[in-house]
Homo-oligomer: A and B are copies of this chain.
Amino acid sequence: MKVNEIGEIGLIKRIGGILRSEYLGDDCAVLDVGPEYLVVTIDMLHRVTDFPREMSGEDIGWMSVAVSLSDVAGMGARPLGVVAAMGVPGDTDVAFVEDIARGMDRCARTYGTEIVGGDTDQHQELTMVTAALGLVRKDAVKRRSGAKPGDLLCVTGYLGTPAAAYKVLIEGREASTEDRQVLVRKFFRPEPRLGEGMLLSDYPGVTAMMDVSDGLGKSVYELSAASKVGFLVYADRLPVMDAARRIARDHTELLDMAICFGGEFELLFTVDPGTVDRIKGVGFTVIGKVVDSGLTLDDDGRISEITCKGYEHLKKQSDKEH
């Protein structure tokens, strides 16, 4: 059996079974280093799947760091440092690699941290791997488990923006110059929600949290599996930027963009209704609630199951679960 027959999720399950580690299952591994928890995550991006030709070197560096800092944000931690490995084709311009380094540095420093170590290697395909570290008070760490029926389901910022940008850039979907600029900027320079994550971590009423990098559909699936609960999501509450709405051909595509595409750098969290008023300082939208079981989408009274499992790299396009 080949890797592309079982897909990323299937492969991760098998690897997880072999590693038998209690640390797997959240955005970051949580390690005890004394007074606080250390959280750590690793992410691999590469040219073919993750870096459209339109991205500058700085964009690539920025995104590579942002993707792992987003996992640190998902735990409610403050960033401690980032290490990065870069695989570079030998015929790459040195100036382009320097631009990547500049983008990495800028992203890390924007969020109050640094690139503290790295490795470079010659590689057939441009490959960026970042591991981000964070620290968080032991009573403040947020995990995927902890959501309770009755809690509200919330998300920061907007959903569907990367999907809209992808349709414009890669599929050639028409867009106004302004919409195009807004969408591509959001896509190429994602902003991990570190400030929001740290603020939310202070509230015990925030019961579970993760980032939405694999899409809302996969994320609610993960939260439900970890917390052993279900979710009811209201389609009309999904926050989508106007620029992204204008890209969608119809309502069905809009929902697919907001739920199934992924590439989001927002935080998805559940919160006790009594705490909602106290976290108003964080910009977020209530999009649904925690229920006993099932992953259900309520689209103006039409009830359906949320089946998409988010973005999968390893499966052949035709095999993708949507």
Taking CB as reference atom, which chain B residue is nearest A125? B124
Interface flag for A195 (CB, 8 Å): no
Chain B residues with CB below 8 A from A314, complex form: 88, 90, 120-122
B-contacting residues, A63-81, CB 8 Å:
80-81
**Cβ B35 vs Cβ A120 within 8 A:** no
A98-B15, A101-B15 known; A116 and B316 CB under 8 Å? Answer: no
Taking CB as reference atom, which chain B residue is nearest A8? B120
Taking CB as reference atom, which chain B residue is nearest A103? B18
B-contacting residues, A18-45, CB 8 Å:
18-21, 23-24, 28-29, 31, 33-36, 38, 40-45
Chain B residues with CB below 8 A from A272, complex form: none
**Cβ B42 vs Cβ A85 within 8 A:** yes
**Cβ A124 vs Cβ B36 within 8 A:** no
Least Cβ–Cβ distance between A122 and chain B, in angstroms: 5
Cβ-defined partner of A97 (8 Å) among B11, B31, B118: B11
Interface flag for A273 (CB, 8 Å): no
Interface flag for A322 (CB, 8 Å): no
Chain B residues with CB below 8 A from A114, complex form: 19, 21, 23
Task: Name which of A129-137, A150-158, A239-247, A290-298 contacts chain B.
Answer: A129-137
Taking CB as reference atom, which chain B residue is nearest A6? B94
Cβ-defined partner of A105 (8 Å) among B3, B19, B115: B19
**Cβ B38 vs Cβ A38 within 8 A:** yes
A81-B29, A88-B3, A116-B23 known; A121 and B313 CB under 8 Å? Answer: yes
Chain B residues with CB below 8 A from A34, complex form: 33-36
**Cβ B90 vs Cβ A3 within 8 A:** yes
13 A–B contacts, CB within 8 A, in A order: A3-B93, A4-B122, A15-B101, A18-B102, A19-B114, A33-B34, A33-B135, A38-B80, A40-B81, A46-B87, A46-B121, A120-B314, A129-B129
What are the 3 tightest A-B residue pairs by CB atom distance, in nearest-first order?
A: A4-B90, A29-B116, A23-B116
- Which residues of A does B touch, CB under 8 Å? 1-6, 8, 11-12, 14-15, 18-21, 23-24, 28-29, 31, 33-36, 38, 40-46, 48-49, 80-81, 83-95, 97-98, 101-102, 104-105, 114-125, 127, 129, 131, 133, 135, 313-314, 316
Q: Known pairs A15-B98, A49-B122, A120-B313. 16 more at Cβ < 8 A? A: A1-B93, A2-B93, A3-B91, A3-B92, A6-B94, A8-B122, A11-B120, A15-B97, A33-B135, A38-B133, A40-B117, A42-B119, A43-B119, A83-B131, A85-B129, A124-B125
